[in-house]
Amino acid sequence: MSNWIATDEIRGNFAKAMSEMYRHEVPQYGTLLALVEAVNRETLAANPALHAELRDGDELVRLDVERHGAIRVGTPAELAMLRRVFAVMGMHPVGYYDLSEAGVPVHSTAFRPVDDAALKRNPFRVFTSLLRLELIEDAELRQRAAEILAARDIFTPGARELVATAERQGGLDAEQAERFVAEALETFRWHREATVDLATYRALSDEHRLIADVVCFRGPHINHLTPRTLDIDEVQRRMPAAGIDPKAIIEGPPRRACPILLRQTSFKALEEPIRFAGNEQGHHTARFGEIEQRGVALTRKGRALYDRLLTASREGGTATDNQSHQVQLSEVFADFPDDPAALRREGLAFFHYRAVPGATAGDEHDVEALIAQDALTAAPMTYEDFLPVSAAGIFQSNLGDGVRDEYASHSNQAQFEEALGAKAIDEIALYEQRQQASLEKALAALA
């Protein structure tokens, strides 16, 4: 018998501690949370069907604590250690995102829980990017950046020790888990002091602002923490009145009767005072706010259709105001079925199957027939991941003007996984498994 604290509980406590720290560091985050909470409450009150759907899918409970954050690290060793830190909280690397095509010299994964029970409890996700130093063209600068990174340790000795303890024991006891949360949190804290002088910062920043952000500080400060809204258009509309200036357009698919994938918008990064080595004063912008609205996860076929329509909608340029952008998107996305039954029948989206209590299947084995006779229900399965085109849009709106064109490099998942010390889990395969498991369980209950 072990008395280890459940990984779900450690993750829940960590997410809460992170949210408190960030609220303290970035007061606008608190404003955003209040806005999202108000809109969620009103949306649920006005839409009983949505309320019932979220309640039956056990998603109402997680909604209030649901957040994703993002960090950027500089070396393979940092990424590999982060993987071990997140594993203590039941978070595993899912998906591979190449952002070099969009002119951002990183590739990324998302650390998140993977199974139904853990996702219901707290789906905390951290979008984690690894800087691709090899994309710095100037050899001298590349060398300098590598040396600066080699000289830092972004983890406290306590965090390192507790990760090793958790791996050795197979878990952490209550006292260790509490210390682990406090020690791990230190890695994500903001630092007002840079580790380099202003001239070095500027040289790196001139190469790419993201490089300066990753290289010049003691740690990979959390750069945003995103709550989930049920109506992103409404939150975006109310942001200015709350003193928040959102980026021009909402990223991702248009508004739909049956929301798909992920829609996101962010507000501009804050300019914050920094003390550089040699006591020079300067500024750095890194931290911003973001909100997201999640919809149903798409199958490979659905995702291919989404990617094709998104590309089509971008031909001839994207509108710079949100309203025209959304109109343009909606026209193109008219080709995407917009009701759950069509999405399911055409194999475009994933669903959770449940047996209706008291129902039996009799001789019927056909899923559609069982749904038609009210023996089986199919609820849309929430998309738990990210979108590379949207992520690039979020990165860029926060890097300001003068964003460069794409890097001539190709996506390199093998190199990323070597740095990570593990494979990135295929997100589509995960949805497939969860859908299949829910169907088998439902059919067994009907037998």
Using CB under 6 A, pick the residue from 124, 276, 351, 395 that binds ligand OOG: 395
Cβ–Cβ contacts within 10 Å for residue 147, how many? 10
Strands 224-227 and 67-73: antiparallel
Q: Which stretch binds ligand OOG (CB under 6 A): 1-9, 167-175, 187-195, 384-392?
A: 384-392
Q: State the binding partner of 36 from Ni ion, ligand OOG, none, CB within 5 to 8 A by kind.
A: none
Cβ–Cβ contacts within 10 Å for residue 414, how many? 10
Using CB under 6 A, pick the residue from 11, 62, 67, 72 that binds ligand OOG: 72
Residue type, 218: R
Q: Which stretch binds ligand OOG (CB under 6 A): 10-18, 41-49, 372-380, 388-396?
A: 388-396
Coil vs helix vs strand at 258: coil
With a CB cutoff of 8 Å and minimum separation 6, the contacts of 123 are: 62, 66, 112, 113, 384
| Spatial distance between the Cα atoms of 222 and 382, rounded to a whole number of angstroms | 25
Cβ at position 185, least distance to ligand OOG in Å: 18
Our finding on whether 129 is near ligand OOG (CB under 6 A) is yes
Rg (CA), the chain: 22
| Spatial distance between the Cα atoms of 447 and 442, rounded to a whole number of angstroms | 9
Nearer residue to ligand OOG within complex by CB, 59 or 290: 290
Our finding on whether 294 is near ligand OOG (CB under 6 A) is no
Nearer residue to ligand OOG within complex by CB, 127 or 383: 127
Q: How far apart are the first and last CA of the chain?
A: 35
Residue type, 78: E
Stated as kind and residue range, the H or E segment containing 238 is: helix 232-238
Bridge partners of residue 93, in order along the sequence:
111
**Among all residues, whose Cβ is closest to Ni ion?**
290
Q: x/- string (CB under 6 A) for ligand OOG, residues 209-248? A: --------------x-------------------------
Q: Which stretch binds ligand OOG (CB under 6 A): 169-177, 237-245, 375-383, 385-393?
A: 385-393
Using CB under 6 A, pick the residue from 394, 419, 439, 442 that binds ligand OOG: 394
Cβ at position 74, least distance to ligand OOG in Å: 13
| Spatial distance between the Cα atoms of 127 and 130, rounded to a whole number of angstroms | 10
Cβ at position 72, least distance to ligand OOG in Å: 5
Q: Which residues bind ligand OOG (CB under 6 A)?
A: 70, 72, 127, 129, 223, 264, 290, 386, 390-391, 394-395
